[in-house]
Amino acid sequence: MKRYPQGSVFYRNLHASYPVIRRGRGAYLYDAEGKRYLDASGGAAVVNIGHGVREVSEAIGRQARRVAYANGMQFSHEPVESLARRVARFLPFPGAKVYFLSSGSEAVEAALKLARQYWVERGRPSKRLFISRTPSYHGNTLAALSLSARRHYQETFRPMLAESVKIPAPYCYRCYRGETYPACRVRCAVELERAIRSAGQENVAAFVTEVIGGATTGAAVPPPEYFPAVRAICDRNGVLLVTDEVMTGMGRTGKWLASDHFDFVPDIVVLGKGLTGGYIPLSAVAAGKELVDVLYRKGTSFLHAQTFSHHPVGCAAGLATLDVIGKNRLVARCAKAGNALLDALMPLLSHPHVGDVRGKGLLVGVEFVEDKKSRRPFPRRRMYAEKFLAEARKRGLILWWNTGQADGVDGDLVLVAPPFTVTAGDIALLRKKMDEVLSVMEKSA
């Protein structure tokens, strides 16, 4: 373990020490000292097929030996052609076109550019504004960060961020109106129409949204009526609907896309994370043929390009990942294991500081509160989530976390998102370790 400033690595946290990981297998990581960690969050909800899958590493090596790089502005190649066809099969619109990039943030940026260019090519250049939700997270590049609602990420860079419009997320545990479903009549969806009319529908390009919440709302699942209502509002007002499935796509919620759980079709879909199971960076933005045809008929190009677009090795890794998912029926397994995971974690509600357990598939959030009756969060100065994670890591348990979801400052939660190969024994161990950590935390609360 090295700590700044002794080492040469520019770590994100300059005051932290990190174990050196040597190898991974299945749902486990092993550090240089031989300690085993249950990777119960799949890194950052990335590892879907498990660590150490030989088929993927061998596919990466084969492609790198064949041709490691071909410029996407000058050439095509078999991996990108094949992967685009494979991904298009589970997309919800006919004739899908898929553009591959490296990270989720990049893909969100590309989606925003595509939406903006679509309206310009349609002769409606005033449509420049994007609406997103609070809380939410869409990435750390500047346009993606502008759409996000993480105050602690944004504050330093606020003068650099683009103008955007925010509406409340369908975060039922912390309803912005203090109501409960179904008596609320899903008023959070109506907020979209109000925002569009306030900004002027002639100025709004798209509504950009997570389908099931990621780390920012801890796997909050919207009511079933929410997205059909949102789709109808977008259609009435001539606004594109962009779904950010970077975390929830590729089977994480028990279906290929989180949108498959709801009765609606988006206009643009963003993918990432599980596209290669973490073996190599790869993301994608996809749209239906009708949308892309607008650019085609104008004789223009998509005004976006990056050096590593359509990377051959990345696409080969994506193909191998899809092969592993298909051969082992991992999306169906994820749905079944997700039910078992939620059943195992629900009893955590017996602990005095566990306010809510929620999720879909192998994406489950556990939210902590200081007072359960009022749902009052711990004050940020207590750093509850960070201490929980540190205590969990001591016990060989890795989780993901977020803070500030309650009011932009206070609030603590952890995200559980293990590989789809997680076993009943792994889930039992996860539950046991979380119970242990919560017991320790209660003594110091």
Check if the beta carbon of residue 237 is closer than 8 Å to that of residue 196: yes
Q: With bands split at pLDDT 50, 70 and 90, how would you rate the model's confidence at 101?
A: very high
List, for residues 256-304, the tens digit of each pLDDT value. Answer: 999 999 999 999 999 999 999 999 999 999 999 999 999 999 888 999 9
Block residue for tokens 């306030």: 198
Stated pTM of the model: 0.96
CATH superfamily, domain 329-444, is Aspartate Aminotransferase, domain 1 (3.90.1150.10)
Report the alpha-carbon distance of residue 61 to residue 59 in Å, rounded. 5
* Contact status, residue 413 vs residue 385, Cβ threshold 8 Å: yes
Q: Given CATH 3.40.50.2300, say whether it is the number of domain 56-327.
A: no
Average pLDDT, the chain: 96
- Model confidence pLDDT, tens digit, residues 221-232: 999 999 999 999
| CA distance to 85, 86, 94, 253, 283, per residue, from 89 (Å) | 7, 5, 9, 18, 17
Q: What is the DSSP string of 105-162?
A: HHHHHHHHHHHHHHHHHTT-TT--EEEEEES----SSHHHHHH---HHHHGGGGGGPP
- 136-169 CB burial, b ≥16 within 10 A, e <16: bbbbeeebbbbbbbbeeeeeeeeeeeeebbbbbb
pLDDT digits (tens, 9 = 90+) for 298-346: 888 999 989 999 999 999 999 999 999 999 999 999 999 999 999 999 9
- pLDDT tens sequence across 364-423: 999 999 999 999 999 999 999 999 999 999 999 999 999 999 999 999 999 999 999 999
Q: Where are the domains of the chain?
A: 56-327, 329-444
